[in-house]
Structures are given as C-alpha cells and as structure tokens.
Structure 1
Amino acid sequence: MMNDKKSPVQKFLEGKGFYIALALCVAGTGTAAWLAVNRTIDDIDDQNQKILESRPQTEDFTDPGEVDAEQNGVTISSEGEDSSSDASSSQEPAAQPSGGSASSVPQNTSALQFSLPVAGEKLNPYSDGKLVKDATLGEWRTHDGLDLKAAKGTPVYAAGEGTVASVKEDGLWGTVITIDHSNGLSTVYCGIADAAVHEGDEVAAREQIGAVGQIPCELSLEDHLHFAVQKDGKWVDPLSSLGLA
C-alpha cells in the first residue's frame, strides 16, 4: 500500500505557497524587464548627448526687425504732409544701355561740357530720395529729377554729347529720351513732343532732340520739362552730377 503522506514542500505548493511562488516569478520577470528598458534609455541618452556635442554652434544672425528698420528708414521731406508707411516710390523710367559702340562716345565724362536742356525756372528740385507729395497723383513719391519751367513747344536740347540709348513712350512720363554719355552717366528727358532723334543716333551738345510736351503724372504743374540724370543706374542730382550746381 502506497504511502500517501505528502512532504511539507508539496503541501506548501498545494496551498497558498503556490500563489506566493507565482507572484515571486512575476516580480522577477518585471524587474528584469525594467532593468532592460532602463539600460536602453541610458544608451539613447548617451547617443543624443554625443550628437549634440558633435553639432557646430549656431551662427550669429541679424534680427529681422533690425533689417526691416534699415530697409524702411526713408526720410520724409519737411515740405507738405506726413507720409503713410506704404508710400510708393517714383516710377520714373530707367535709363537703358547705350546702343552705340564705345568708340562713338567720349570715354572721359569729366572732359564733357554740360548745360541744362531748357532755360527756365526751377519748379521742383531733385528730392534726393525723400518723399514729396505728388499733387497730380495724390501720392507720396520720390522726385528723382529736376522740373524746368518751359512752355509747350519750347526746344529741348541734349545736355551734352552722347548717343541716344532709347526713345520710349511711358504711361506716366510721356515720351522719354535717354542719352548715354559713357562711363555709366545718362541724361533722361521726360514729356518730349516731336522727338527729333532715334535710338543709336549720336548727338552733339546743345543739339535739339525735341520739344516740351506733356507729362501725364505732373499735369497739375505748370508746363515744364522733367530732366533727370542716372549714374550707374541710380538717380543722382542733375545739377551737381553735371557740374551745374
């Protein structure tokens, strides 16, 4: 007859001891998993730290607000009302490159003699980048030339020897003649009637190129010629740039 006595271990496992052992196994498994996860997190932190240390330092940069302030720092003329922040710049036609050869135009502008294209009272001066109120358009604009009072039909003469770079029609400025005097210097005549020259023509100083006509964007002023000068594509003071100040 078999011995049915059970050992203390068997009795323990059949009783509450079984559940205690099971709980210990689960706890051991959880501890092992936590240790594995913790090691993985530490490895990731180490890798991130190495990446951050290997990256170059951020370069200095300019505050966009400072850039805007520099770009928008336009001086307003003391004459007239205060301008709004969205005042438009003058849309005067840009001088075009000369169509003539370099040998056809004197290469030293300092040796050229210049004179005003018409003899008349100076109505509006060159504004040197300042905004002034345009009485015709009702806008604040830069006045990039010199307005010389002259009745319609008054002869207009080339301010100096050069080559006609262009003769164009402009919606704001009427017929516009541009003469290249070499070395980046050009004279621009706006509101011309009866143009007597064509692109590519060589002209002498004081040669008639047309007559005073109409300037659509300056109709509220007395009849006049709008005369402007560019140096290397930028508007400059007609009087000082031509030695007439």
Structure 2
Amino acid sequence: MEQIKKFLHGKGFALVLAACLLAAAAAGVWAVRTVRDELRQNLTDLTNPSSTARQTIPEPEPDPDVGLEEEELWLDLPDTAEQAANSVAGVPQPVPGSLSASSGAASGSGSVHEPSALRTDSAPAASSAAPASTQPFSGRVLNAYSGDELVYSKTLGDWRTHNGVDYACAEGSAVSAPCSGKVTETGTDGRWSSVVTLEDASGRLWRVCGVSSPAVKPGDTVTAGQKLGTVGTISCECAEEAHIHLEVLQNGQYLDPAKIS
C-alpha cells in the first residue's frame, strides 16, 4: 500500500493525467469528425435537393379510375386559341336562300311550308270548293249561343239558356243554307215557327228557324249558301227584331254554331 502511495505521489500521477488527456483528445477528435461529416452531408443536400426528394418521395401511382378515353380527350383539345378559331372557321356556312338560312327549321324528312296568309303562290284547287258551313244570313249577330249560362228572354220574360245564334236581318230577305247536306225536315214548330232542318256529312243537324216560304223539301240535297227560303217570324222570340235562329245538334247535344267550320 505504501508503494502505491509513493507511486501516485511520484511518476504514477503524471502517467494517469497523461492517459486522461489522451482519452479526452481522442474523444474530441471523434466528435469533430462526426460534426464535420454531418455538416458536409447537409451542405450536399442543400446544393442538390432533387436527389434527396427522389429518394424520399415515392412516385405517384397512376389513377385506375382515369380511362384511356379521358386521356385521349385531353390530348385532342387545341393547344392555343388560334387553333380553336381555325377549327370554327372550317365549319361550312349556310348557303343564302337555303332552308336553314331562310326558315331556321331543323333538318329532316318533313317539308316546311309558309303560313297560308303569307304565301303568294296560288292556292290548291280544293280550296275553291264551297266552305263546310256559312251563315244563313250575312247580317250581324243579334244574340249569341250561351251554353250553360242563363240569359234573359224579352219575349218570355224569364231567364233561360240560348241554344243557338240569332242573325239579325230584314223580314223577307233570302235565307241561305248554313252547310252542305240533306234536307230532313221542313215544317212548322209551335215555338220556332217555320223550320228547315239539314243533316251534314258528320251527322250533325242544323235547324234554321224562322224560314218562311221554304224553297226546298225533305230529301233534297243542298250546298252551303243555297237559298232555303225567306226570313219570317219566330214565335218564342217575337219581341226581338227580325232575325233567323240557327241551332246545331250532335247526338242530342247543342253545339255553338259560331265555332263550327
């Protein structure tokens, strides 16, 4: 023990101190090298960041939901506004006077005609035929068809429906057939006085009331506008001025004569 104490008080102490200094120096050198290597790596990453990004960031995988048709669609789009304008300029322009330029109608197998009121060419031959119906007299309408609405009767002094149209005219004037058809009845009615009834091609019955001196008889065929007789009187409407009362029935139902053509 005494020898160890003597050694430490002598050369031993110097040797231990030298060993500690060497160990500290070695540790310092190792630490400096480590820091230098890290700084060098950091400088390399800063000067060339793409290399690190390629190593750390994975490549994006293709989206399976995007089909080939969508990719081709984007590839076919024009790159510039000039190319788009050129593609529009390549569309053929309508020829002046053609159907698409004049009428604006869509293309198709059907034909387009101007309204009859605007056409200047001659009408078909069928249009020159007699109209399906006409007024029995060219005078003004005295009383219109009322339908379900009640109107006041000057003669009877009550409110009732008016099932026909009254045409004002002078007594003794000629009465024309309102339609083409067959005469089914000529006679006297207690309320409507002298009546001439016609049946047209559609089976409708036209009752012309107030016709005196009939010029036709049952079974005759007449055309629209043909004379049926002259204007007389109507018993149930005698308080009105002279007129002709026209009724139209189909399957027992009254129709508005003014709306039949």
User: Scaled by the length of structure 1, what TM-score is found?
Assistant: 0.52
SS at match of 1:239: helix
1:156 pairs, out of 163, 166, 175, with 175
User: How many Å apart are 1:230 and its aligned residue?
Assistant: 1.2
2:244 pairs, out of 209, 212, 225, with 225
User: How many Å apart are 1:112 and its aligned residue?
Assistant: 5.6
User: How many Å apart are 1:184 and its aligned residue?
Assistant: 2.4
Deviations 1:152-172 (A, max 9, x none): 111111112100011121111
Q: Name the Cα RMSD after superposition.
A: 1.4
User: How many Å apart are 1:134 and its aligned residue?
Assistant: 0.8
1:126 pairs, out of 102, 125, 145, with 145
Give, in whole Å, the separation in 1 of the partners of 2:150 and 2:215. Answer: 34
Listed as ranges, the matches of 1:231-242 within 5 Å are 231-240=250-259, 242=260
Give, in whole Å, the separation in 2 of the partners of 1:173 and 1:152. Answer: 15
Give, in whole Å, the separation in 2 of the partners of 1:155 and 1:112. Answer: 19
1:183 pairs, out of 202, 215, 220, with 202
Q: Which amino acid aligns with 2:239?
A: S
Please say if residues 126 and 144 of structure 1, whose CA atoms lie closer than 8 Å, have aligned partners that are also in contact: yes
Please say if residues 191 and 213 of structure 1, whose CA atoms lie closer than 8 Å, have aligned partners that are also in contact: yes
Query: Which position in structure 2 is the counterpart of 1:196?
Result: 215
2:170 matches 1:136: no
User: How many Å apart are 1:183 and its aligned residue?
Assistant: 2.4
**5+ long unaligned stretches in structure 1:** 1-110
Q: Count residues with an aligned counterpart.
A: 132
Greater RCO between the two (CA within 8 Å, min separation 6)?
A: 1
Give, in whole Å, the separation in 1 of the partners of 2:140 and 2:226. Answer: 21
Give, in whole Å, the separation in 2 of the partners of 1:112 and 1:149. Answer: 22
Give, in whole Å, the separation in 1 of the partners of 2:159 and 2:184. Answer: 29
User: How many Å apart are 1:132 and its aligned residue?
Assistant: 1.2
Query: Which position in structure 2 is the counterpart of 1:214?
Result: 233
SS at match of 2:236: helix
Greater helix content: 2
User: Where does structure 1 differ by over 6 angstroms across 4 or more consecutive aligned residues?
Assistant: none
Q: Which amino acid aligns with 1:139?
A: D
Give, in whole Å, the separation in 2 of the partners of 1:238 and 1:156. Answer: 16
Please say if residues 115 and 160 of structure 1, whose CA atoms lie closer than 8 Å, have aligned partners that are also in contact: yes
Please say if residues 184 and 233 of structure 1, whose CA atoms lie closer than 8 Å, have aligned partners that are also in contact: no
Q: Equivalent pairs: percent with the same residue?
A: 39
Give, in whole Å, the separation in 2 of the partners of 1:143 and 1:206. Answer: 24
Listed as ranges, the matches of 1:110-125 within 5 Å are 113-125=132-144
Give, in whole Å, the separation in 1 of the partners of 2:149 and 2:184. Answer: 28
Which structure has the bigger radius of gyration? 2
Q: Which amino acid aligns with 1:163?
A: K
**5+ long unaligned stretches in structure 2:** 1-129
Listed as ranges, the matches of 1:69-148 within 5 Å are 113-148=132-167
Q: Which amino acid aligns with 1:187?
A: W
